[in-house]
Structure 1
Amino acid sequence: MSEATGKTRLIVVSGLSGSGKSVALRTLEDLDYYCVDNLPSALMPAFVRAVSEDAGLHPKLAVGVDVRNRADDLDRLPGVLAGLAEVGIDYELVFLDTRDDVLIKRYSETRRRHPLSGDGLGLAGAIAVERKLMQPTAAIADRVIDTSELNVHQLRRLVIAELGMSAGTLTLLFESFAYKRGVPTDADFVFDARCLPNPHWNAQLRPLTGRDAPVRAWLEAQGDAALFLEQLRTFLDTWLPRFRNEGRSYVTTCIGCTGGRHRSVHLVERLAEHFRGTYEQVLTYHRELE
C-alpha cells in the first residue's frame, strides 16, 4: 500500500553479505525511510507499530535482515510478514544476490571479515554456508536483484529508481565528483566547475570541504562562482519540469571539479537546497567524500 493510500510501506532488505545491503539501506534512508538494520523478525511487528501506527511518526520503513540473524529467526520471517500483511502493512521483501567469485573479490579488496568466517571457515566456505542459510529467504522474496555487475553508484541509482520513489514523482540526484577519477557513467547532466576559483589554493580552506561554512562563504564571494550557480539554477528550473512531464522517474545531475572536495560539493549542496523547495525527493551524493 503506497503513500498514495496513506498506509505504511515496509521494505525488507535481505541478501548475501557483500551484496550491497548496506548501500541499499543507506539509499532508502536518504529517501526518507526510517531504517533499522539486523532487526530480529520477532521484533518487526512491534517496530512497525511503534514507529508508524501508534506514534504516527513515519509511513515509510525499511528493515535489514541477513545471516547475522539466528537461523530460527530467519525461519520465523515468512509468518511475521504474513501477519503484517493481515493488518494492512504493505511490505516488499527484496533479496540482493551476487555471484561467489564477485563476493570473494569484494572481500579481498575491502579486507572485511565475513560474518561466518569464524568457526574455522575460510571465505569460500563461509559464503557457501551463508547461501544455504539464506536460500529460504531468497525463495520467498518479492524481488531478487543480482548485484554482480553493479558498482555502488549503479546500485544506488537502481534503488532510487525501483524501490524508493513515490508514484508519479521525479527524484533528483545531485552528485559531485573529481574529474581525475572519471565522470559518473549514469549522469543525465554533467557540468564542469574547474573554471571557477579553487579554494584548494587557500591554505586555510584546503583541509575543508564544500559543506563547510568558510568554503561556502569564500565561494559565494567570488563573482564567477555566484554566476555559475545562478545560471545552473535557471537552466534546471527551465528543463527539469519537461522531464517530469514526460514521465521520467529520476534525473541525475553531476558537477565535477579537480579534486571533488570544494567547488563541486558546494554547488551540489546549494542546488539541492534550492530544489527541495519544489521537488519531493532530492538527494545528494559526494563521490569523493563517501
Structure 2
Amino acid sequence: MTDIVLITGLSGSGKSIALHALEDEGFYCVDNLPPELLVQLVEVEQRFNVPRLAIAMDARSATSLHLVPQQIEVLRAGGASVRVVFLEASTDTLVRRFSETRRKHPLSQADALHANAEPQRALVDAIDSERTLLADLRALGYVVDTSIIRTAQLQSTVKSLVTTRSQQLTLVFTSFAFKRGVPLDADYVFDVRMLPNPHYEAELRRLTGLDAAVANYLQRQPEVARMQKHITTFLDDWLPALVTDHRSYVTVGIGCTGGQHRSVYLVEALAAHFATHWPTLKRHRELDAR
C-alpha cells in the first residue's frame, strides 16, 4: 500500500519547508504537480514500488484543483493511504512574508482589476481569493497554522503527523497564549484563563506546565480538575460522531494568558488520557517557540 501525503495550502505558508521535512523522512517528493496528473503519478510510482510519496499542490494549478477530492477517493478506493496537510497563516503574516522576499503572489496577476491597484491591497485581495479557492481542500485534512511558528516547529509537526496511524482519527492537543492569538488550525478552543494561575506563585513563575512542581500545584486546584473533566466529557461524547463524519484529525486548542502553565499542564493531562484509545499528538506553541 502506498502512503501518500498531499501538501497544500496558502502561498507563503511553508509548503516547501513541509515537503523538505517529508523528504528527510524518506518520502519521494513532487512539487507543483498538476492535479489532473495525480492518479497517473501514483500509478507510475506504485509500479516502481515507491512506498512513500509526498506531493505539493497549490493555487498555481487553480483551474484543476476542483479535481482533487474525487481523485483522492479514487486513490483510497484503490488501496492507497492518502493524508492531506493544509498549511495556512494569517493575512498579515503572509503580506509580511511576501514583502520580505519580494516575491509575487501566484494569483496577483489573475485579476485584471488589480492592474492599477495599490500593491499591498492587490496582495491582500490575492490572498483572500486564494483562501476561497482552496476552501474545499482545507476541509479535507489536517490544518497547520504557521503564522508564529519557526521552521523547526513546522518540520517537527509535519514529521509527527506522518508517524500516526492514518486510518484512525488523530487527536492533536495544542497549548497557546491568548495574548498571541488563537491558532487558526484549532477545531475546538477552550479558554482556561479563569483557573488559578501559577504565574502568581513566585517559586513557580519561571517554570512551565511540564514541571512537576507546577503540575502538583494545579492538581490541587478543584477548578482545574473540573475543567479537565468537562473537556474530557465533551470529547468523549463527540469523538464517535467525528469519526462517522470521516474526520482524520481534530485539533483541540487549550489557551491561557501566557501559554506557559495552565494550558500546557492541561494539554499534557488530556493527551495522556486520550492516548490510551486514540492516536494523539501534543504541541506547545509558546514553549516550542522559545
**Deviation at residue 84 of structure 1 after TM alignment:** 6.1
| SS of residue in 2 equivalent to 1:231 | helix
Where structure 1 has 5 or more consecutive residues not aligned to the other structure, the ranges are 3-8, 30-34, 38-59, 67-80, 115-122, 125-147
1:39-78 alignment runs, 5 A limit: 61-62=26-27
How many residues are aligned here? 207
User: Corresponding residue for 1:75?
Assistant: none
User: Corresponding residue for 2:281?
Assistant: 283
User: Corresponding residue for 2:249?
Assistant: 250
User: Corresponding residue for 1:106?
Assistant: 97
Report the AA paired with residue 92 of structure 1. L
**Deviation at residue 215 of structure 1 after TM alignment:** 1.5
Matches of 1:229 and 1:269, distance apart in 2: 11
User: Corresponding residue for 1:92?
Assistant: 53
1:70-149 alignment runs, 5 A limit: 85-95=46-56, 105-106=96-97
Q: Return the TM-score normalized by structure 1.
A: 0.54
**Deviation at residue 196 of structure 1 after TM alignment:** 0.9
Query: Are 2:142 and 1:160 aligned?
Result: yes
For 2:14, which of 10, 14, 20 is the aligned residue? 20
Cα-to-partner distance string for 1:154-182 (whole Å, 9 max, x where unaligned): x9997636995755421212122222223
Matches of 1:276 and 1:92, distance apart in 2: 27
Report the AA paired with residue 53 of structure 2. E
**Deviation at residue 23 of structure 1 after TM alignment:** 5.4
User: Corresponding residue for 1:210?
Assistant: 209
| SS of residue in 2 equivalent to 1:94 | strand
CA contact (8 A) 2:171 2:249 kept: yes
Q: 1:97 to 1:288 in 2, by over 3 A?
A: same
Matches of 2:96 and 2:19, distance apart in 1: 22
Matches of 2:244 and 2:261, distance apart in 1: 33
Supply the RMSD in Å over aligned alpha carbons. Answer: 4.6
Q: 1:206 to 1:62 in 2, by over 3 A?
A: farther
Where structure 2 has 5 or more consecutive residues not aligned to the other structure, the ranges are 32-41, 61-92, 104-129, 145-160
1:157-196 alignment runs, 5 A limit: 160=142, 164=162, 166=165, 168-196=167-195
Matches of 2:189 and 2:95, distance apart in 1: 34
Matches of 1:87 and 1:161, distance apart in 2: 31
**Deviation at residue 22 of structure 1 after TM alignment:** 6.5
Matches of 2:208 and 2:19, distance apart in 1: 25
Matches of 1:285 and 1:90, distance apart in 2: 28
Q: 1:82 to 1:244 in 2, by over 3 A?
A: closer
Matches of 1:198 and 1:173, distance apart in 2: 24
CA contact (8 A) 1:23 1:156 kept: no
**Deviation at residue 284 of structure 1 after TM alignment:** 2.0
Q: 1:157 to 1:266 in 2, by over 3 A?
A: farther
Seq. identity, %: 47
**Deviation at residue 248 of structure 1 after TM alignment:** 2.3
